[in-house]
Structure 1
């Protein structure tokens, strides 16, 4: 792909140019759950200046191509291998990070909540996200991913129908979790700590931003690549 246009979807762009996800997050352009809509439609709906965004996007892509990057063709990777990557990379990260980061979210709410009322909502949102993602990953690893691996070895229409039904529920859960992350970003002003924030406050926001980035990539790989293989 030499240049991105309004006909390309955010999901297609992130497949080719992973760093585009940073620009999309800044512009609040969905590249995972709703990432299969053409940019032209997204720009119209969000009243976004397409000339500016496409200019930034293609300029960044041109610079990125000059660097030495290993480009992963996710579409060429078999489902089982992709599932193993998701589990050992993204699920492993969340299983370790969710409890640890939860302690920081609770701490800054306890210490700074009186002066920063949005931390009460952040605390609630984070815990909703934590429970949703933990249950979601258990369902994927215990039910859906084994079905997909079985289908890769022994394909059948009955099994495929079962997978499609299960995937519909997973995509709904992805969208709900994505909406929680968007709300967290909104109330924290893009995870930008206030000027008087202590080190714990700053660490919490930095780790929330990192978790958001990892989760969006995680959902992108499932929704736009793994599930589309089926």
Structure 2
């Protein structure tokens, strides 16, 4: 059986799953690989994990291209993904209009489910937000940290805490049963991250990888990207 190998940030897992039937019909290939914290996925590529295509933040993909691990001319934007709040399905929504509201919501929560605070886009941002709000120490024992956002959201869905709250990228919230998107982070705390796809320099199936990139970024899939949680936006220079 022919398989396209992928290393991707968890933000794109739902979108890739929705496009897999169309990709298989077009190429005859299945898709296999890993979805997780972007830093961890980049390191896997650096260490030689076989991959035909990567989907990571624009900054990381650009760096991997500089390292000659990704074909620079193949890079294409997929879309912006917001970091957002999540609650268990059926729980009251967290109404957060400004930084003060966010601070209050986090302090009122008895369990805060987040992805890796050192290797994931959303997790790193959340850690910075907690410092910015001045509550990192106050909520440290309530943080429930998992390798990626999808796992954190599954754990939130199964939580028996009194008032749990989750924070990760909106695409991971939308694609997880048992949790509900409760809204974006407020002004001053928000984050929208551009995700891009690229063909790896060592790709065994570059043609099929290009077909998947075309599906991920093409105008015909705008509705699927939107349904998965991606939003339109102009690309910003990597930082």
Using the size of structure 1 for normalisation, the TM-score is 0.24
Higher helix share: 1
Higher Cα Rg, which structure: 1
More strand as a share of residues: 2
Question: Structure 2 length normalisation: TM-score?
Answer: 0.23
Greater relative contact order (CA < 8 Å, ≥ 6 in sequence): 2
